[in-house]
Amino acid sequence: MIIGVPKEITGGEKRVAVVPDTVVRMSKKGFSFLVQKGAGYEASFTDEMYEKAGAKIAENAEEVFSTADVIVKVQKPEFNSDLNKHEIDLIKKGNLLITFMYSLHYTELAIQCAKAGVNVISMDAIPRTTLAQKMDALSSQANLAGYKSVIIGANALGKIFPLMMTAAGTISPAKVVIMGAGVAGLQAIGTAKRLGAIVEVSDIRPQVKEEVESLGGRFIMVETDESMQDAGGYAKEASEEFLKKQKELIFKHVTEADLVITTALVPGRKSPVLVTEEMVKNMKPGSVIVDIAVEFGGNCELSERGKVVEKYGVKIFGEDNLASKIAVNASEVYSKNIMNLIEHISDKEANLQLKLEDEIVKGSLICYNGEIVHERTKSQINI
């Protein structure tokens, strides 16, 4: 099996799908690698490092797409202006693409792949099961994004995080409010606490209260009679009534915060607005908001995707690709996720074997043999 690693063409994307260490490990198991020239450069992995690891270097993307049996990417496929072709049209019919497709949000790409006969496994659709943990790229990237969100917020804030006793008097600790206690939120809690901040956390799922408190955060409880978590452990779309109650409760917490980090996502839906313009108006001058849900609409009413804006004296970061800002580590863990997935769907002779009854394949396979086979994606198309 030849695994192709093209250079990412999405603006601002510095990650690479496979790192040299993975090439070494998988080459010993019979896999071959074709890496586009400069594919790992932005993540500090040179062509020489890939060659030393055993990969072949391709001069351009077209060579990678036309030669490889499996294409591994970070970002969803898009139009390649250098080649004047869409990346989907560069992949050979019947071959496999593994990437973050986000097919619940970008259903048109799933349709396009099915028409082109490209088989697709989407890394964001890997099931949240014990067996699939080592392939869970959504969690590995969110973990790093949660860490980086705190660092960005701390850097932008005009004050320190910890309580500090000085000869001139006592400096009070910063107050950080985190919206959403998923993987990114939990990492943000731990990072902010290590830096010495007082951390308060809001999440629609009461089930996460214990985890939040174990990390030193104070949980902001919104009473509810309904289950706010789906079978996969993700937050469900909340009702208007619940969101209203939540906003009323957190108004005081948000407006007293120095830093607010929003991480709340609902698969296949627009991100819920949790921080309203009215809240921002009432925040202290110099406060900071880091919205990492901005790619899918944003949790802050005033955030703008990929931009830093200042509104009512508050700096708002619309961060749509935080993991890329830690490209070295993000690429390393993503590469391991990819390696574990490919080994799972291959036999001992390094031949691809997509067993449709396998729970991981069934959960993450979007397109197969010219059809969209992912049930949730199909349901989105039929809405």
Instruction: Give catalytic residues, as residue numbers.
Output: 128, 133, 136, 139, 234
Residue 273, CA atoms < 13 Å, CB-side half-sphere: 12
Is the Cα torsion angle 245, 242, 148, 14 positive or negative in sign? negative
Q: How far apart are CA 147 and CA 142, in angstroms?
A: 9
Please, which residues have CB within 8 angstroms of residue 186's CB and are 6 or more apart in sequence? 146, 211, 212, 215
**Residue 292 to residues 191, 199, 257, Cα–Cα distance (Å):** 16, 18, 17
Q: Would strands 288-291 and 56-58 be described as parallel, antiparallel, or unpaired?
A: unpaired
The DSSP letter of residue 139 is: H
Structural tokens at position 29:
């198991």
Would you call 154 helix, strand, or coil by DSSP?
Answer: helix
Amino acid making up residue 303 = S
Q: How far apart are CA 230 and CA 293, in angstroms?
A: 19
Give yes or no for a contact between 342 and 149, defined as CB atoms under 8 angstroms apart. Answer: no
- Taking alpha carbons only, the member of 223, 227, 108, 126 closest to residue 183 is 126
Q: How far apart are CA 97 and CA 191, in angstroms?
A: 35
End-to-end CA distance of the chain: 38
**Residue 16 to residues 28, 46, 87, 257, 334, Cα–Cα distance (Å):** 21, 11, 16, 36, 8
Give yes or no for a contact between 55 and 6, defined as CB atoms under 8 angstroms apart. Answer: no
Please, which residues have CB within 8 angstroms of residue 57's CB and are 6 or more apart in sequence? 34, 35, 36, 37, 47, 50, 51
